[in-house]
Structures are given as C-alpha cells and as structure tokens.
Structure 1
Amino acid sequence: MKILKVARNKLYLESNLEEQEIVDVSPEIISEMDLNRKKELSREEYRRVIYLASLAKSIFLLSRRDYSRKEMLGKLRMKFREYGIVEEVVEKLVDRGYINDLDYARALIERSRESRRKLEYQLSMKGIGREVIAEAFGEADHDERDELRKQLKKVAKREKDKQIAYLMRKGFRYEDIREVMREIEE
C-alpha cells in the first residue's frame, strides 16, 4: 500500500490496483506507526493500522451509546474494507464485555414504552437472538398490561378508535387493548 498523504486524522492510501482508500487514524496511530515518514505500508503494517483504527472507532462509538454485536459490525464494515479485522475487533470487545447483547436487550426493555411483541421485533432487527431476548424478558420487570394502562392514560382524551390505533402502532394486541379499556370503564 502506497501512502499518498497523511492529513489531520486521515490516511490516504493507494493499492497496487490503483484503488484509493481513506482511513481515519488518530494522532496516536500516526505516531506509533510513524506514518508521516513512511511512503509505503507492508501488508502487516496496513492490517495493523486498520486494526488500531477500527478499535479506536468502536471505542469512540461505545462511549456515546451501547451497541449490539450486529450493529457494531455494521458500523465498522461501512468504514473499513477489511471485514476479517473488523470481526476480530468486535470479538475482542465482546470478550472484554464492552459489547454484551443480553445487557443491551435488558436496557432497551427497561427504558422502552413499547409492547413485548414490538420490542422482540426491534431486538431481533438489531441481531439479538431469540434465546437472549427470552432471557432478557425473563429477568426484566416488563408488565405489558401495566404499560398498556400507562399508554392509554396518555391518549385518554382522544376518540376510542384513535386510542386503539395508537396503541396498536405501539405493538399491543387489539384484544388486550379492548380488555384494558373495559377494565378502566368499569
């Protein structure tokens, strides 16, 4: 890999196939790898730069919010071409406990105001497995009926059909909505 230039936190590279790549690198990586003085990177040096850059990027992302394993892989794959290195970095973060799908699922369940069905769907879209979702719901204090009552109070002044439509968009089942509405009316 030929180094075209190092400017601020960007490393401009060109491969033998004349493909250009721009890699975000921190000042620490630039000094550790002595990138300002080099004209070329060996394959091992290139892999090391990508590893350090993807590790730094993932730690930065995790400092802002939690990510599931699948989400982090997706974020890093959009940024870096070396998928094997990206997977290695994510596995390291999982091993060290920085990424934990069960903790991620628990936190989402605790702070959410959605129905269990909708939460299960959201978690599965984030790459959380069924067993992990079931375990997170088993440990969480997520009372669907109680949540339905809270949501119903929020929209109490609306017409009944609009209340039902709102709650169904939140993922609650029609039968449960009607039952709770009857309880409240009595």
Structure 2
Amino acid sequence: MLQYKILSDQELTSLLRVGDKYAYTEIYNRHKNLLQNHLYKKLGDLELVKDVLQDLFVKLWDQKSELPITDNLPGYLFSAARNRVFNHLSRQQVASKYISSLHTFINEDNYITDLAIREKEFAKIIRQEIEALPAKMREVFLLSRDGHFSHEEIAKQLGISPQTVSKQISNALKTLRLRLGVLFYFL
C-alpha cells in the first residue's frame, strides 16, 4: 500500500488530479491546520473559517482535474484561501451597503407616510374651514377653486355680477387666511 504521508506535495497533487481520494485526504490533513490558523487571524470567526476551509477543499476536489501542477501547493492553497477571504469581505461590504440602503429606504418611507398622514389631516382642517364659510361665499369659492370656473362663468351660473364673485372670493380668502394661519398656504 502507498504511504501518502511520505509523498511530496507535488506527488500528492499529481495523484489528486487523477482522482485519488487518499491523496486528497493527505493534502487536507497536511495543510488544514496552517490554513485554519492563517484564516482565523484574518477573519477572527472560527465558524466562518471552517466554512471558508470547507469551500476551499470542496472546490479543490471538484476542480482536481484542472489543478495546476505546482511546486508550491501550500502557496496555491494560501492564495485560494486569501481569495475566499477577499470574496467574503466584498460580499460582506455589499450586504452592509444593502442593509444601509434598506434602512434609509425604510426611514424615508416612514417620513413619506408621515407626510401623507399630515397632508390628509391638513386637507380635513381646510375642508372644515371652507364648510364653515357662509353658504353663498362657500358656493362661489368652491366653484372657483374646485370647479375651476372663471369669475364670469360663476357670475353667469349664479345670476350675480362678476364684481360680486370677485368680492366673495376675496372675502373667503381673507377669512380662511385668518382661520388657518400657516395652513392657508396649503390651500
């Protein structure tokens, strides 16, 4: 039986390339601890280190036939581990940016919702003040603002003079300005 422990990394790599699972196991046993210590210094999270190592060795087995024959297997493994650390940090940074943008969106959404609620409240207050106007003044004002009729059209429709329409609208605006204060400008 072949003694895998005495084989060089280059010999193990050659055997791994043809699918020798014992060569794979020896490579794993020989380099796992050094890689684990190196990754732990970089990541500081043992569970994450285990995940990165598992990913590295699974890829090593899956891509064994494309594995370059190298004189420096530890260098190859450390480079592969380093690339996985970079990929992890990059994904973590993207995830962090996504979470940050999600928080911003949620906060803006709350702000927009708050504005919509306030707008409805303001509209209700304004509508109540318009309803409190004297009947004829309210009718003229609503035809002007809601109906978008000209002063002449309102005068003709109600059988009054255009000057009376202008005076009624002017009086309505003065009354609303006094009652609503700042809210008047939403009108």
TM-score normalised over the length of structure 2: 0.24
Question: Which structure has the highest strand share of the two?
Answer: 1
Question: Which structure has the highest helix share of the two?
Answer: 2
Q: Which has the higher contact order (CA 8 A, sep 6+)?
A: 2
TM-score normalised over the length of structure 1: 0.24
